[in-house]
Structure formats: C-alpha cells, structure tokens
Structure 1
C-alpha cells in the first residue's frame, strides 16, 4: 500500500514538472488561448482594410471568436476537402460577422498598434524615402519598442503598411483557416487574414 502511494506521488510530481515546462512554451500558450476563445472568447478589436491600408471598419467587442466557414469548402466526390474555404465567421458579443476578401486583423485588448500611433504624428505620404520606413518608425517610437525583442509589420495585399506590433515573446502558428496566421505577442493573440507580414528582431531595425 505504501509502495503504491509512493509511486502515485512520484508520478504526480513528474506530471507537475511536465506541465510547468509546457506552460512556458508558446505552443502550450496558444492551445490555452484556443481553449479560452472557445469557452469565453476574447476582448479584441477587429479591423478590415482596403488595398491602400485604409480602415474600412473597426469593431471592438467582448467574447470574440473566429472560425472558418466550412460550408464553402470545395470537396471531391468522396466528400474529402480539396480546397479550404477562405470565408471566415466571427462572433462578436453573440452577433455574427461573415468576411472574405479584404485584409483583416484581430488583436486582443492589451496590444498596441504602433503604426496607428505613429501615423498620428507623421505624414506617412511625405516621409523621407532615403531612410527605410520600418527602421525610422521603430527609432521614432522608442517608447513603444524599447526592451521589445521582435517587431511584427503587417501590410495590405498591395504591400502598404497597415499595422505594427512589438513584443518580447513573439510566436506564430497555423490557424486552420485559409490565408491566415495566428501570432502570440507576450501572451496576447493577434490574428492576421489575407495580409503580408514580416517579423523582425528589433535589433535589426535600430
């Protein structure tokens, strides 16, 4: 009886160690985020953009979840999916939004769009083109980027910058939704749909 108890305690200790190791890894954090999204949703901002990176609409809400609209999947005669749907379905506070086509980002409350702050103080159209745009923005916005190890620049499908985020711990993941990427920035979720993006080590831009 005593031997069984010792084995049980040892097994429990091993499980605790494994879970504590996993809790520090980005993959585990992402899975926790998916669970949170499925059960409670997120408080986040959803924005869509035209090719010139102008904001078409901006919606902020609680209990947000996002998924692929699978009924638009292309299937063969045997019912196997051959082309995944590019249509996405967002639920915002119990209300539905269906989207396809233009660039879209969803970023969790707590993330700051550096590009949005930068464009309030700088005439983007007349910026000195002899200095690379991202380098100049990062150096001008030191208060947002100091101590951050990676910068995520997001562009429209025509290549024009539309949003920028920075964080110390940045990881990216497949989402299961066509033409999209999930990114974790310091534990906060960023969803990118039909956008170009680049992730830089901040030191490269300073």
Structure 2
C-alpha cells in the first residue's frame, strides 16, 4: 500500500511540476487557427505509395463540420472525416486515403530506414499503475517513443521518433494528433503503433 501511495505522489508531482504538453498542444492549435503552421502534407494509397505532397506556410487542417452527423438537439453523433485544409489561404478538401501532416523539422525516419519490430518483454508489472503513470506522463512531459505508421492495408508508410512524445484526440474522425519534441503530427486514416523506445531496446 505504501508503494502505491509513493507512486501516486510521484505521479501527481510530475503532473504539477512538469511542463504541460497538453497546454503546448492547445497553444499550437490556437496558433494554427490564427497564423497556420509551416507543414508538409502527404497522402498515400493502400500500398503506401505517395499520391501527393504539399509543403507550405500558414497551413491549417480541420474537420469540415458540414459533414458531421448531428442529432435533433444539435449534438454531434459522428465526427466529420472530411478534411478542410488551407494552404496560404487556398483551400483543399481531402477524404478517404491515408494522410500525414507534420510540421517542418519533424523527420520521417521510414524514408531512410525500414525495419520490422519483434518485441519480447517478459517484465512483470502492475498494469493499472503503469497506465496511470503513462497517462500522466503523456499529458505532461511526454515520453521517448517510436511511432510506426502503416496504410489502411497494413503497408509500412512512415516512422517518427522523439524523446518527448504525447498523443491527443482530435475533432476529425479517424485521426490522431501527436506532439513529437514540440512538433505537430496529424495521422489521418492510418494504422499505427506507438512504442515506448525502451520496449524496443
């Protein structure tokens, strides 16, 4: 019981004293709404072959809310999966194929390396406590992680890695947002796995 109390106290202190990745994520979203981000947008077919590539400044990626399904009271029942993208004030709509949008300075390691993952970890742990600590770290300081991304048919597509990685839900259906060492990444309609770096060592 004392061990559990110590872990909870440490977790709370980490949450209070650490720089908050959630706040950084929200500030980044506000910046995107006001000025946009300098980003690279790439879409892929089922075989992870590049369809198009757009790079620019003042880019904003949002759900086109006209396509969200709402009930009679106006509550969202199903989020929109249509992306409304602006690039320097010009509009682009996208739906269906896998898409990555990531800030300048973030490198897709898959373009340089291709590797398969084989995990053999037999360490005993307390799953509830691990989840609690991992969730707190995700919201505050992040964690060293590797992100392997695949197309919808399971073909390897991209790999990102960072020392300070956190992930977030978005208002876009079938998408996940990440902060990787302070840089934004949007994963849309892709399969992915996020590993603690230590798990692969």
TM tier relative to shorter chain: 0.7 to 0.9
Partner of 1:138: none
Alignment of 1:173-192 (within 5 A): 173-192=168-187
TM-score by length of 2: 0.75
Residue 86, structure 1, aligned to residue 67, structure 2: no
Q: Distance in 2 between matches of 1:59 and 1:103?
A: 14
Structure 1 runs not aligned, ≥5 long: 1-20, 120-131, 136-147
Residue 61, structure 1, aligned to residue 44, structure 2: no
Instruction: Please say if residues 36 and 58 of structure 2, whose CA atoms lie closer than 8 Å, have aligned partners that are also in contact.
Output: yes
Across the aligned residues of Structure 1 and Structure 2, the Cα RMSD in angstroms comes to: 1.8
**Structure-2 change in CA distance of 1:77 and 1:186 (3 Å):** same
Partner of 1:133: 116
How far does residue 97 in structure 1 lie from its aligned partner after superposition?
A: 0.7
**Structure-2 change in CA distance of 1:23 and 1:41 (3 Å):** farther
How far does residue 161 in structure 1 lie from its aligned partner after superposition?
A: 1.1
Partner of 2:45: 50
CA-to-partner distance for each residue in 1:102-149, whole Å, 9 max, x for gaps?
100101000010001226xxxxxxxxxxxx7146xxxxxxxxxxxx93
**Structure-2 change in CA distance of 1:40 and 1:196 (3 Å):** same
How far does residue 23 in structure 1 lie from its aligned partner after superposition?
A: 7.6
How far does residue 176 in structure 1 lie from its aligned partner after superposition?
A: 1.2
Partner of 2:97: 102
Q: Distance in 1 between matches of 2:70 and 2:165?
A: 35
**Structure-2 change in CA distance of 1:52 and 1:29 (3 Å):** same
Q: Secondary structure at the match of 2:27?
A: helix
Count of equivalent residues:
162
How far does residue 40 in structure 1 lie from its aligned partner after superposition?
A: 1.1
CA-to-partner distance for each residue in 1:4-55, whole Å, 9 max, x for gaps?
xxxxxxxxxxxxxxxxx68811101101111111111111100001111111
Partner of 2:36: 41
Instruction: Please say if residues 163 and 180 of structure 2, whose CA atoms lie closer than 8 Å, have aligned partners that are also in contact.
Output: yes
Q: Distance in 2 between matches of 1:181 and 1:202?
A: 19
Structure 2 runs not aligned, ≥5 long: 1-15, 119-142
Partner of 1:161: 156
Structure number with greater CO (CA < 8 Å, separation at least 6) is: 2
Q: Secondary structure at the match of 1:169?
A: strand
How far does residue 85 in structure 1 lie from its aligned partner after superposition?
A: 1.5
Q: Distance in 2 between matches of 1:27 and 1:190?
A: 14
